[in-house]
Amino acid sequence: MDNQKLPTVLLTGFTEFGEYGKNVSEVLMAEIEANLHLFPNAAVVTRVLDVDYSNAEQQFDRAVLETEPDLVISFGLSWSIDEIRLERFALNIDDASLPDNTGVLRQGSEIISGGTLALKTTLPLPEIYESLKNQNIPVKFSNHAGAFLCNHIFYHGLTKFSDTSPLIPYGFIHLPPLQTQVTDLGRTVLTQEQLLQAAVSIVNASLQSLGD
């Protein structure tokens, strides 16, 4: 197939923040870039966004402008989970307990003044879920993506793509921390190999929905 005819898929992660060290989503973006041959049915491009309310929006918008994607999926870290979480809704609220990497703390603030309270992902979550389960990759559904940068960029993206024609599917996926970051012996998280395998499955399942 001519590469020019392949759908363009934009994948985003975040830089490290706070006391967590490496961000699993940034590590995943590097793994994807090193293994683009695993995505023969798409032209995959990755971007890593700053954990910064203002810069993240600008970087996201610039990436969309530069790549003209047919599908966009964002990934981020959720420290407390041990499996992949498929986010159903983005909420119009910034209400974090931690500041972003520039020291900005947003609590009880609307992302878009007067905007819709909640926006639903446009990714085919049931198909993604089944694809991951069939490969024995731990996965759960989640009804909201928190109230920090992950939810912020999720809501921003859904708003941005709400009036595109044709629709550009967009959604957010939360990832557990890296194995090397988990010190509690009782926790079992995904290996980097499993995370890459999951990303391939998520992209492939999402691609099948294009044009539906």
Catalytic residues: 87, 150, 174
**Contacts of 62 by beta carbon, 8 Å cutoff, 6+ apart:** none
Extract the tokens encoding 1: 């197939």
The backbone torsions φ and ψ at residue 78, rounded to the nearest 5 degrees and listed phi first, read -125, 110
Q: Are strands 118-120 and 89-91 parallel, antiparallel or unpaired?
A: antiparallel
DSSP states along 94-157: B--SS--TTS----SB-SSTT--SEEE--S-HHHHHHHHHHTT--EEEES---SSHHHHHHHHH
d(C-alpha 65, C-alpha 86), whole Å: 26
The single residue listed with the structure tokens 């972003």 is 100
d(C-alpha 123, C-alpha 129), whole Å: 11
Round the CA-based radius of gyration of the chain to a whole number and report it. Answer: 16
Distance from the first to the final alpha carbon of the chain: 21
